[in-house]
Amino acid sequence: MPTSRLDLLRWQFDLTWSLTELHLDALRVDDFLWAPTDSYWTVRLYADGAWRPDWADNEPDPIPLPTIGWLSWHIGWWWSAATDQLAGRPPRDRRDVHWPGDGRAAVAWLRGLRDGWIRTLDGLTESGLDKPSSFPWPAETKLTVAHLVSWVNSELMKNVAEIGQLRLLRTASLA
């Protein structure tokens, strides 16, 4: 039973990560760039060898359906930026975060981010949860590290649910 806010946030993360592993273990390499519709966002290989995501500063309506590759890049970007924030570094810009290039590498990247996040969580203290955090929202919102950690748990759960749904749709389409 969690005895502190930090214990509760860690428990919530561990629960979310267990769902993440369920889907990561079931993914096949071909799942990452599969698109079930003509309107989708994915990651694309550019001439310089970098895999970059489709992006629009003003979200289109309707929003394109992301591929699992795009979603794995998205997790990698915001999670890297959240870890930067807690380490006292400026959060990296999305343009500086590239997709690793294939499904196996993306899964390894996400697992590495998880390991780094665990180290970050292990370095937090109960009083540190009350420090201000300016990521992913503007500093004037006056939200805290506790909000950031809770947001990471929520964002991960949302993105993993999207990955799981896409994985299930692809599996059904192959049947």
Domain that holds residue 164: 5-174
- Say what the pLDDT of residue 134 is: 87
- Say what the pLDDT of residue 1 is: 66
Q: Looking at the whole model, is its pTM more than 0.85?
A: yes
Question: What's the CATH code of the domain at 168?
Answer: 1.20.120
For the chain, give the secondary structure using H, E and C.
CCCCHHHHHHHHHHHHHHHHHHHHHHCCHHHCCCCCCCCEECEEECCCCCEEECCCCCCCCCCCEECHHHHHHHHHHHHHHHHHHHCCCCCCCHHHCCECCCHHHHHHHHHHHHHHHHHHHHCCCCHHHHCECCCCCCHHHCCEHHHHHHHHHHHHHHHHHHHHHHHHHHHHHHC
Structural domain total, the chain:
1
pLDDT digits 0-9 by tens, 60-111: 999 999 999 999 999 999 999 999 999 999 999 999 999 999 999 999 999 9
